[in-house]
Amino acid sequence: MSQDLQYIPLEDAQRLAIDLLLAAGLSEGHAEAIAKSVVSAQRDECYSHGLWRLLGCVATVRKGKVDPKAVPTVDASAPGIVKVDANFGYSLLAFQEGLPELIAKASRLGIAAMAINHCYHFSALWPEVEEIAEAGLVALAMTPSHSWVAPAGGKKPVFGTNPIAFGWPRVGPHPFVFDFATSAAARGEIELHRRAGKPIPLGWAIDSDGNDTTDATKAMEGAMLTFGGHKGSALSAMIELMAGPLIADMTSAESMAFDDGAGVAPCHGELILALDPKVFLGGGMEEHMRRAEDMFAAITAQGARLPSQRRYEARARNEGRGIPVQASLLEELKAMLASLA
């Protein structure tokens, strides 16, 4: 973030986000679900999935791609599966609508899956797995995106950024959570570098000729790269399969074709798994969950950091001073709201 950073009350950030989304034509349910996600990311200083994402949300609605008033439909008829059809609305309301059934099935059976179909998706996955972990369940979530990422050894996009997230419940204040793209960086991180006129690190992307680049604009025109070479590439392919054909939804390449040059949020599916350690472990739960805590302690005792620790520290740091926002972004959002009024 640049030097024009300022702090606003969390309630003001939420109100601005909701008002902007309502003015753009989204239903109250969608506006509240999206605002919750982007404000949480901004609060935790995850700026790539924070308030600036509202600009893309409004653009997607304006271009007629997303149904701003779509009502998700939930099918919980299968024993261990919850199917939620977002009906071409944003994914976040669909997640909220299906979550109670997912938790109930996992608590009863030990394991359950939720497939969200026909959704427009832009958000981070960590708020979802964090919420599931706070309910005492182990969670795994994954989703494709648009085909922006070249496979290892290739030069042309095939994969999406294809994030995967994991949550593990803990007795303490925060669950163990990680959320990362299988690309070398999130698409939003490159866009933030482009907006700021800053170079990106080598290894994030190649230009349209397949050459390494540190130019964020050329990266957006070329292809992003997977993290860890062939390892990230294989994980990305797995996510394409599990959150695409397995749940009867689009791959990243199909989502890009469906976009048809509009340049809006990807439309595809999402797969979420929930496992209940109480069912797996029974009377041995306390002992085995303590063994997990021993592992966490062995990590932190040597000065290493657990995933999401930076986010949790930012959350605590901003608790009393508000939500950090670039003044220029704040003005841009207010100007957009005024234009929609």
Catalytically active residues are 48-49, 189
Contact 111, 125 (CB under 8 A): no
Residues near 190 by Cβ (< 8 Å), separated by ≥ 6?
A: 200, 204, 205, 216, 219, 220, 224
Contact yes or no for 56/122 (Cβ under 8 A): yes
Exposed, middle or buried: residue 128 (CB in 10 Å: 0-12, 13-18, 19+)?
buried
Whole-angstrom Cα distance, residue 33 to residue 307?
25
- First-to-last alpha carbon distance for the chain, in angstroms, is 29
Helices (H), the chain: 10-23, 28-43, 53-62, 91-109, 126-134, 187-196, 216-221, 230-242, 252-259, 277-281, 285-300, 309-318, 327-340
Q: Which amino acid is at 237?
A: A
Give the closest residue to 34 by CA, choosing from 107, 92, 82.
92
CA-nearest of 132, 133, 124, 137 to 164 is 124
> What are the tokens at 94?
């669909």
Give yes or no for a contact between 308 and 126, defined as CB atoms under 8 angstroms apart. yes
